[in-house]
Structure 1
Amino acid sequence: MALDRWIALIILMICMAYGYAAFFTMDAGLPPFMQRNAIWPSTFPKVLSVLAITCALIILLGQGKSDDEAKEGDINYRRLMDYNLGQALLLLAMMAGYALMLRPVGFLISTVAFLTLGAMVLGERKLQFLLPVTLLATGLVWYLVQQVLGIYLRPLPYVFGTGG
């Protein structure tokens, strides 16, 4: 079986567990006044699980290409060591570090650092272009989340007295 079908099988199993939780366990603790609503808190998870299961089944049961028809850009799982796994693993580690540093360091500093270092890992070396772009993108996202959506994101570390 091809690598994409193995991944589809794993995603299918995860989505089936998610769908079971959405259909059978999420609505058990709803208060009576919410049980008469047309849209429940589990509506989006139900739709998401059905769509994900459908997509996984299409990939899993589809009439895809065989291993003999591999093209130039396709990933060959037998040659995984020929790819840039170091970059991918470093980016995954950086994502985990970013998630852990988001609260103590603050959104602005940790996001600018993650975007800058992530772009440098991927090969960008022009800091004169990289820093303004990451600063602008981070500031714009923080403004939209904080001011437009009204969700509080600690912009700076605790030591700067940003509250919350």
Structure 2
Amino acid sequence: MSVAWSSFTPGAALAGGALIGLAASVLWLVNGRVAGISGILAGIARRPGDRGWRIAFVAGLLAAPLLVGWLAPGVDAPAPLTFGAGDALRLFVAGLLVGVGTRLANGCTSGHGVCGLARLSPRSLVAVLVFMAAAFGVVFVARHLLPGGAS
């Protein structure tokens, strides 16, 4: 899948980043909780008395794109992804690896990158550096070393 640079919308990216920061700040100020998605999802299963706000947070994540599509139907949105029959296994393995990685790192990119760095957490800084190095490495390998990659 190739994304053209012309699809980059700095205004939308800035607005989205500001909304993510605002949501993380409100959650921290109101609940004293970090907006790390893996921790929020894990808490739904592990903390029965603490489920309400977690379910509301996840519901908001799922409802937000639908709400934007309803309120601003003319806004260009990315085309839905389509998957072939062989991609289901690849997606499952990728999801499993992401889950294992978030457990090993004691958090996900949102928890470490958005909230941890804002709190000047050294552990989050190391985690984000590792996330980014791994991402750069995977993109390089996929685009330049594997057959069919973009050169």
Q: What's the TM-score, normalizing by structure 1? A: 0.23
Q: Which has the larger radius of gyration?
A: 1
Q: Which protein has greater RCO, CA pairs closer than 8 Å, 6+ apart?
A: 2
Q: What's the TM-score, normalizing by structure 2? A: 0.24
